[in-house]
Amino acid sequence: MRNIVDTVLYKDGMMLVIDKPAGWSCTPTGPGVHLTNYLQALTFGKTTLPQVAHRLDRETTGCLLLGRHPRALRDLGQLFQDRKIRKTYWALVRGHWPEALDRLDQPIQGQEAVTLVKVRQASSEQSWLELEPLTGRTHQLRIHCSQAGFPILGDDKYGGGEGPMKLHARRLEVPLYKKRAPVVVEAPCLFAPE
């Protein structure tokens, strides 16, 4: 098991971005290792634990944003609500994704859900995609890929079969500071075909 201190990609006084491994849960219920079991190591001498500003599914890897105190968490939450934080994911899906299919906008549970898609590489058996969710619905990328007929590999819930899920939160752009450029953080991807 990786030490959570080794997963830190970015930190400042307001926020923290970690490279979340598969199996670490953002919610205290259900299977897997819960992040709060490890957040003590990230207090850096403070008594307040960082709190998750958004969620990644238990098997999704990559950039996870945390607020380092209540004000930071509130400000980050507002940025998510205003859709100002850009998130980019990488996924391996089953089948040859057509280049022309660059926007998925099927509603999820009656709510608007929009995902932009860029094909990075494709073969007859699988495609490597760059996904940008413009909305933040639960399981949005997994559902959209499955609805399009190209489930994410390893996603046993939505038709991608057994094994580790090939969905990775590759990049975050966080415009938290008014007089500075957005903070951009990337997490290395272990399954990328490059």
**Catalytic site residue 105?**
no
Residue tagged active-site, from 6, 12, 19, 57: 57
Do 159 and 140 touch, CB atoms closer than 8 A?
no
Buried-state track 94-109, b at ≥16 Cβ within 10 A, e below 16: bbebeeeeeebeeeee
Do 50 and 66 touch, CB atoms closer than 8 A?
yes
> How far is 144 from 150, CA to CA, in rounded Å?
9
Q: Work out whether strand 61-67 and strand 167-174 pair parallel, antiparallel, or are unpaired.
A: parallel
CA distances from 10 to 37, 87, 173 (A): 20, 15, 12
What are the catalytic residues?
57
